């Protein structure tokens, strides 16, 4: 384990505020997150996968916020993480909800390579789409499309809404405000726990559903 990495128990303590007391936590979750963190720290020392470098902060902000989102997706069986970067929120969602069919879309090659490495190491069935979401066959759609910290959120929401058959789950900072929601409507706005500065989880649902 790299000196700066964290144990499964330390990770469990750090993410506890983001998990509801009745959350069904799969037995391997914290060991899997520890392996994921170890890989992320190793890769991040060479390539810039995330600007957050401090392990506790990575666990709180990236893992914690993603796990929090995983509990507010409602009923779904397929999920697209639009602009997954180093795997947020899609990978922690996959670990907390292993029954979901998760696709991580990431257009930057080095980040997609990292995602494939995590998926392979953890033995997951998660799909990595190493291209722009817009390049997916038009027939591909998902129950939920999740977006977090994607630049030009309005354009991303427009592209994401073409792929979402039920809901968009948007993790945005309070400063960003709500993006233009196309044919979706805002159904929930939840302030995330922890010290995260005004970060909100916005859930939008198609009018027709």
Ligand X SMILES: C[S@@+](CC[C@H](N)C(=O)[O-])C[C@H]1O[C@@H](n2cnc3c(N)ncnc32)[C@H](O)[C@@H]1O
The residues of the shown chain that bind ligand X, judged by CB under 6 A, are: 83-85, 88, 105-108, 111, 132-134, 148-150, 159
Residue number, 12 or 145, with CB nearest to ligand X: 145
Residue number, 42 or 132, with CB nearest to ligand X: 132
Residue number, 24 or 51, with CB nearest to ligand X: 51
Is 117 known to sit in a ligand binding site? no
Is 83 known to sit in a ligand binding site? yes
Is 134 known to sit in a ligand binding site? yes
DSSP the chain: --TT---HHHHHHHHGGGS-TT----TTHHHHHHHHHHHHHHHHTTS-S-S---HHHIIIIIIIHHHHHHTTS-S-SEEEEET-TTTTTHHHHHHH-TTSEEEEE--SHHHHHHHHHHHHHHT---EEE-S-GGGS-TT--EEEEEEES-SSHHHHHHHHHTTEEEEEEEEEETTT-PPP-TTEEEEEEEEPSSS-TTEEEEEEEETT-
Minimum distance between the CB of residue 150 and ligand X, rounded to whole angstroms?
5
Minimum distance between the CB of residue 49 and ligand X, rounded to whole angstroms?
9
Minimum distance between the CB of residue 27 and ligand X, rounded to whole angstroms?
26
Minimum distance between the CB of residue 54 and ligand X, rounded to whole angstroms?
15
Is 144 known to sit in a ligand binding site? no
Question: Annotated binding site for S-adenosyl-L-methionine, which residues?
Answer: 83, 88, 133-134, 148
Question: Annotated binding site, which residues?
Answer: 83, 88, 133-134, 148
């Amino acid at each position: 384990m790299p000196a700066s990495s964290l144990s499964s128990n330390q990770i469990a303590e750090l993410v506890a505020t983001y998990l509801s007391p009745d959350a069904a936590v799969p037995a391997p979750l914290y060991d899997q997150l520890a392996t994921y963190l170890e890989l992320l720290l190793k890769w991040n020392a060479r390539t810039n996968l995330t600007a957050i470098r401090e392990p506790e902060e990575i666990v709180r902000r990236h893992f914690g916020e993603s796990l929090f989102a995983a509990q507010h997706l409602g009923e779904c069986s397929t999920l697209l993480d639009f602009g997954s970067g180093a795997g947020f929120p899609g990978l922690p969602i996959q670990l907390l909800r292993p029954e979901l069919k998760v696709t991580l879309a990431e257009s930057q090659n080095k980040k997609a390579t990292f995602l494939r490495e995590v998926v392979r190491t953890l033995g997951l069935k998660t799909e990595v789409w190493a291209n722009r979401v817009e390049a997916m066959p038009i027939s591909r759609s998902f129950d939920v499309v999740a977006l977090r910290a994607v630049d030009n959120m309005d354009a991303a929401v427009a592209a994401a809404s073409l792929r979402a058959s039920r809901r968009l789950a948007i993790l945005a900072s309070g400063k960003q405000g709500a993006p233009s929601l196309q044919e979706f409507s805002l159904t929930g706005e939840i302030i995330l726990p922890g010290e995260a500065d005004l970060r909100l989880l916005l859930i939008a649902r198609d009018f027709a559903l």
